[in-house]
Structures are given as C-alpha cells and as structure tokens.
Amino acid sequence: MLHSFINFSTNHYTSVYKEELGLEIKDLDKGQEMGLLQPTYKIIVPDTTGDFSQQWQSCLLQLIEKSDNPDLTLVRVNIFVKSNNQANYITQHDVINKSFVNLQNFICPPFCVVMQEPEDPYLVICEAGFIYTNDAKVSYGVFKERAYCTIDSGNYKEYWTIGAQSVQPDLNVFDSSKAAFEYLRDLYEHLGITFNNLVRQWNYVGEILSQEPENGKLRQHYQIFNEVRSEFYGKYRTREDFPAATGIGMKYLGVCIDSFAVSGNDDLKIIPISNPDQSESYQYGQKVLIGAPNKKKKENQPPQFERAKLIALHNASRLLVSGTASIIGQDTIGIDDVEEQTRVTLQNIKRLSSPENLKNHYPEIKAIPTKYSYARVYVKYKNDIAKVRPICENTLGNTPTTYIVADICRDNLLVEIEAELVS
C-alpha cells in the first residue's frame, strides 16, 4: 500500500512513497528549538443542517481552512459521530477515510472516528489539535495502515497515535482490547520507544457497562479491558507510576485506544499528580469493581491510571488531566443528580490542578499551568447537556470544549470531564 504525506510546516507539499511496513518517517524542516510545546485546539461543528455526509463535508472544509494557517500545524483529529448501529458507524468511518484519501494536496494526520454522539443538532463534530509551526518539526507516518505523528521540538519528542486498533465487531472485548495493546506495543517498538514513554491514554470501550458470560459468570466489559491493560503494563512497563487516562464508553462494540507518548533527556520531568480528595484508581477496593474476576485471578484488577500527569521543562509546564468524575475517596457523590456531579467533578479538577497540590508533588515547578487549552465533557444522557453546559462554562469560560454523549465507567456516574492546562 502506498501513502502520501504533506509537509505542513513549510507550507508546501511533499509526497513520500514507502511500503506500509517499516515506513521511513519524513522529517520536516526543523523549526526554532524551543522549550515545552503549548498546543492549541479547535472545535469544529457543522455550519449547515442536513444528513451525515453534508455535515461531515462542512466539518472537513473548515478543517482544511484552519490547516491553511501557516502559523499552525495540524497533529491530530478526533471525530465524534452519531451512529444508528454498528454497520452505520462502519459506513461513516469509510466515508470519512475516503474523503481524506481523495483530497488533493491534503492528508490528515492521525485521526480517530469515535462512536460517541455529539450534542444536538450535530451528527458529527471534530476536535483538532495544532502546534505552532515554528516551535517544532513534525513527521507523519503510517504503521499497519494507521497514521501516527512525531513532533520534535529539539529538546524532546512527542508521539501521537490515534485509533490504535480499528473497531472490529466480530471480536469480543477481550480480543479487541488485546489487539489494541498489541498494536501499541508493535508501534512503539517501530518508533524506538516503550510503554514507559506512555504519558496519556484514551480508552474507548464499546458498551463499557455491559456484561458478557464467561465460564458461567458475568464479566463487565470495562473490567475485561482493565485486566488486559494490567497484563500489558505488567509485561512492558517498568515504571512504578501509570499514564493519565480516560476510560469511556462507545455506543457499540469494539475497543480503540488513542495515546500520547514522550521521550527526552533528564531536563524533561514527568510527574504523576494525585488528588488528595480521591483514592488512587489503582488502589480501588473490590466493592467498586463490577463483575466476576478472571478465572486465573482471585480478584478484579483495578483501573491503572494516574489522576493527572504534569510535564515540566525549564520554565514551562502542561497538566494532562485524566477523565475525572464525581468521586470522593472511591465513592460516587451526587447519585441521580447530574448538576451536583458536574460541580463535584469540576471541584476535583480544581483541587487536582491547584498550585498548592502541584507544588506538593513537584516543589521545583517554575510555572504553574493555569490556562485550559481544551476540555472534553462526556454526559451519559443527552438531555442533561443543557444542565451541564452552564456549570462547565462558569468554570471553563471560553475554553475549546466538546460535549458528547457516552456511558461513564460506573453506572451511577452521569458526567466525566477531562482537560489539559498549560502555563
């Protein structure tokens, strides 16, 4: 299979043709050597009504227009779609993929199409991540038919992978989870990094709250995913901490992982950040882990992620906030009250990201990340978005924010919020 790549940084196009496997990365002209990258995000919604294809074309044209800005380089795109069923989703994914392939002088960097319904009246929306062109050189590549992006600032490198393991409805949750992690393992080997470089992960789990039978017992989809995650971290990650992460539902079956990895020298600090008001997820007790344990283990494995990861380099920092919900200790707060859950969730993020908390974890920090660069708000019931939005806007202001419909990892959780803050 042949692939074409676009040189965004120099504002002209360069085609590179390589075999799919063992693809050589084409480095773009190196920008000014800078410190820590400070990304910027754009939320793109259709500016027209109509069917899915019409709304997608509207989003695509806006994406192309924003990518024409020579000051910005596009590095990733998340696309959220309303799907009527699994077959409809696969059709939508094909439409989006072909539209990129057929464009002249444009190809999208890593993108993922997620079965999470946008707020009304949209059938599709996009969340696009950019960096400032002069801050780094950007390389695009393809590994096993999936795109990835490498960003070299001169001081360190970032690796964006979107859509690890496309949705395959013929696979059960265990096999889908395993395939996604195996892809990441192989890709990281191809890139010359390991699971130790993994800083942030987005885990989209189909029908996350559903349970399926195994050896006469019912096992929850999210718990099955957690077992696979625990296995791969145990084999391929030697760090004592874990990545920041979001574990969230998709409407139909499948598992898909987005990831953000980093490599650098000793000047680059990556610090796990805890919330004093919340238990560590990886220390959750069995009472909040749903479903029967794996037959080979006596207990369910807890979700292994940090509440946030702080990245600091010289006089700059970024805080990657994991998917956060209305949990104090390990207990859900505000059951059946979406407004209360939203307030508690935002308070958790505020407590987590407070200067006091960050300094407690990393006293040497020189710049506190206080500005939200983006937020993503997952709401279990679409009608609740109208209640959640004004509470979020009161805290987030004009932060680029996506509101989408998704099951949260506990049945009694109604809202989950993730974010990134920069200094």
Domain annotation covers residue 247: yes
Whether the pLDDT of residue 164 is over 60: the answer is: yes
Selected residue with higher pLDDT from 103 and 362 = 362
pLDDT of residue 170: 78
Domain annotation covers residue 28: no
390: domain CATH number is: 3.30.1330.40
pTM for the model stands at 0.90
Whether the pLDDT of residue 168 is over 60: the answer is: yes
How many structural domains compose the chain?
1
Domain annotation covers residue 152: yes
Domain annotation covers residue 280: yes
Across residues 288-313, what is the average pLDDT? 80
Q: Domain limits at 314?
A: 40-422
Across residues 175-196, what is the average pLDDT? 95
Axis-axis angle for helices 338-353, 385-396 (nearest 10): 20
Domain annotation covers residue 16: no
pLDDT of residue 288: 63
Burial classification of residue 322, based on how many CB atoms lie within 10 Å of its CB (0-12 exposed, 13-18 middle, 19 or more buried): buried
Residue 301 confidence class, pLDDT cut points 50, 70, 90: confident
pLDDT of residue 320: 98
**Average pLDDT over the chain, rounded to whole?**
87
Residue 285 confidence class, pLDDT cut points 50, 70, 90: low
Give 83-117 pLDDT, tens digit per residue.
999 999 999 999 999 988 887 666 668 899 999 99
pLDDT of residue 129: 96
Domain annotation covers residue 20: no
Across residues 269-297, what is the average pLDDT? 79
pLDDT of residue 23: 31
Q: Do residues 270 and 199 lie in contact, with contact meaning Cβ atoms separated by under 8 Å?
A: yes
Whether the pLDDT of residue 46 is over 80: the answer is: yes
pLDDT of residue 295: 61
Domain annotation covers residue 3: no
pLDDT of residue 162: 84
Domain annotation covers residue 22: no
pLDDT of residue 313: 94
Give 378-411 pLDDT, tens digit per residue.
999 999 999 999 999 999 999 999 999 999 999 9
Across residues 177-199, what is the average pLDDT? 96
Give 313-335 pLDDT, tens digit per residue.
999 999 999 999 999 999 999 99
pLDDT of residue 365: 95
Whether the pLDDT of residue 79 is over 50: the answer is: yes
